[in-house]
Amino acid sequence: MELIIIRHGKAENAGVVPGGDSARPLTEHGSHQFRKVAKWIGKHQSAPDLILHSPLVRTTQTAQILRDVVELDDDLCCPQNWLGFGLNLDALISHVRSTACERIAVVAHMPDVARCTADLIGGGAITFKPGNAACIQFDSLIGIGQGSLKWHLSAPLF
């Protein structure tokens, strides 16, 4: 099984929009940049069967871009409160194990995406700028230290 970890695209700065941090949308550039990442994911046989995302606006928008590009049904793009700030790795592992999906995308926030990726591949330091994505492959059940980094995309390279 594969887990695609994604940091949301570039968002508006805090204080630019009413509603506080949770209401910050993607910038036009952030949307455009992540659409390129999503197209790469779709073209390289990495399209997810399920997208889980934080309920914040910027992660929801990022997940919707991926959903639209890979033509996934709306009901397979699901907000999860536990993917907000302070992502609980045990909750992620438990949720992924409870599905029959072979490839799941998770859209969340820094530093959670970097920490979870490192924990799942057994350590190291992974950099996640806005719109970056990494694919972790598991030969058996998903678990801490059980994954291998298959690829890592950096949106600014596109």
d(CA 141, CA 108): 22
Q: Is 113 exposed, middle or buried (0-12, 13-18, 19+ CB in 10 A)?
A: buried
Note the pLDDT of residue 155: 64
Considering the entire predicted model, what is its pTM? 0.94
Q: pLDDT digit string (tens) for 6-43?
A: 999 999 998 778 888 888 999 999 999 999 999 999 99
Q: What confidence score (pLDDT) does residue 146 get?
A: 97
Q: Which domains does the chain have, with CATH numbers?
A: 2-157 (3.40.50.1240)
Distance, CA of 78 to CA of 60 (rounded, Å): 9
What are the structure tokens assigned to 157, written together?
């390279």
